[in-house]
Structure 1
Amino acid sequence: MTARALNVLFLVLLLSGWSHAAQAGQARDTLKASVDEVLSVLSSTKSGDPARTEKLQAAVSKVFDPEELARRTLAANWEAFNPDERQRFTKAFVRLLEHTYLRRIEAYTDEKVVFMDESVLGEGRSEVSTKIVTSSKEVPIVYRLIKKNDWKVYDVVIEGVSLVQNYRNQFNQILAKESPAQLIGRVETMGSAS
């Protein structure tokens, strides 16, 4: 290899390393801003207030990527859904997650959120480790983010359990016996249940 080729190779390696270094911290900062906004809504509004729920939905939707979350949850099954079914599934799945997890967020009572490491998973993907500290325990939560225009969450791992993987397993079992339309119907029903 010539000296010029070695210099070019070194420059490429240096720039790719710089790209990962520049990327580090950005996902964490985006996630922290979103969590801070959620905590602000919780501290400035009263439980049961419909405006509170709307504000929480708006804050959470800024950092989550619904289509990426839905696509990764369905995995290989995503291709079996036509474009209309993908859109309906994504909307229903987001409603289900809101129904399930916004109630948990609203039950937050002054626990402390600690932001820890950010790890680069690959080009345009990072993982941010956090923990919720209560008076009796610490709950580790890892957010997986993808860089599109902004950093967006595509999976959450709570105490070692991936939200995407958990739902993927459930939906794979349903899709082994039922059609995409039937799965969508089930998810719509679960998301609208009180």
Structure 2
Amino acid sequence: MASRIAAFALAWTLALSGMALAGQAQDTLKTSVDEVLRVLSASKPGSPGRAEALYKAVSSVFDPEELARRTLATNWDAFKPEERERFTKAFLKLLERTYLRRIEAYTDEKVLFLGEAPLADGRVEVSTKIVTSTKEVPIVYRLIHKADWKVYDVVIEGVSLVQNYRNQFSQILAKETPAQLIARVETMGNAS
């Protein structure tokens, strides 16, 4: 009888902790998106400090190592620890250059949060939609819970950021070394 009570208590505790986490991923993401929208509405493109404020708002919710690791997939193991670190920094700089410039182009668009769905291994997807005067763009954020919720992939109109880069980098790594790939990514991230 005592073991049944203990098992029930454990199951109840796990259920409650799961319920406590439900919605937290969306809340975390919404906080970051709200800050991005605040920065965009409070300043004009090219304003001093705007790019840094946008980077801070976006980077607070992304997991750089998880993004890099998932982008390289099985190739991650072929990288030495210092190559992993260098790749992660170069890849983030590339993403910053590519995607923050796109974010800066937004003006009066609205972001709708459509809900959160659980995935395997404590991961979730948060579905959103950017609504403009002429179209709606579906964006799904994939998050993982470590110390808190962090984004490890973004799917825009059905195209995964991680999968897109994984395909490109796998083709390069089939012919080149990790050091050569890192040099390419660094060059792309530094391009004007």
> Which TM-score band applies after superposition, normalised by the shorter structure?
over 0.9
CA distance in 2, matches of 1:74, 1:133: 32
Residue 183 (structure 2) aligns with: 185
CA distance in 2, matches of 1:17, 1:120: 14
Q: How far has the Cα of 1:120 moved from its partner?
A: 2.1
Residue identity in the other structure for 2:108: D
Residue 37 (structure 1) aligns with: 35
| 1:136-168 C-alpha deviation (Å, 9 max, x unpaired) | 211111111111222111110111111111100
SS in structure 2 opposite 1:38? helix
1:20 to 10, 18, 24: 18
Equivalent residue pairs, number: 192
Q: How far has the Cα of 1:124 moved from its partner?
A: 3.4
> Unaligned regions of 5+ residues in structure 2, if any?
none
* TM-score of the pair, normalised by structure 2: 0.94
Pairwise CA RMSD of aligned residues?
A: 1.4
Maintained 8 Å contact 1:132/1:138: yes
SS in structure 1 opposite 2:72? helix
Residue identity in the other structure for 1:91: K
Q: Percent identity?
A: 72
Residue identity in the other structure for 1:71: R
| 1:159-189 C-alpha deviation (Å, 9 max, x unpaired) | 1111111100110110010000000011011
CA distance in 1, matches of 2:82, 2:48: 30
Q: How far has the Cα of 1:113 moved from its partner?
A: 0.1
* TM-score of the pair, normalised by structure 1: 0.94
Residue 166 (structure 1) aligns with: 164
> Unaligned regions of 5+ residues in structure 1, if any?
none
Q: How far has the Cα of 1:6 moved from its partner?
A: 4.2
SS in structure 1 opposite 2:130? strand
2:119 is the alignment partner of 1:121: yes
SS in structure 1 opposite 2:106? coil
2:104 is the alignment partner of 1:106: yes
Q: How far has the Cα of 1:123 moved from its partner?
A: 4.6
Residue identity in the other structure for 2:72: L
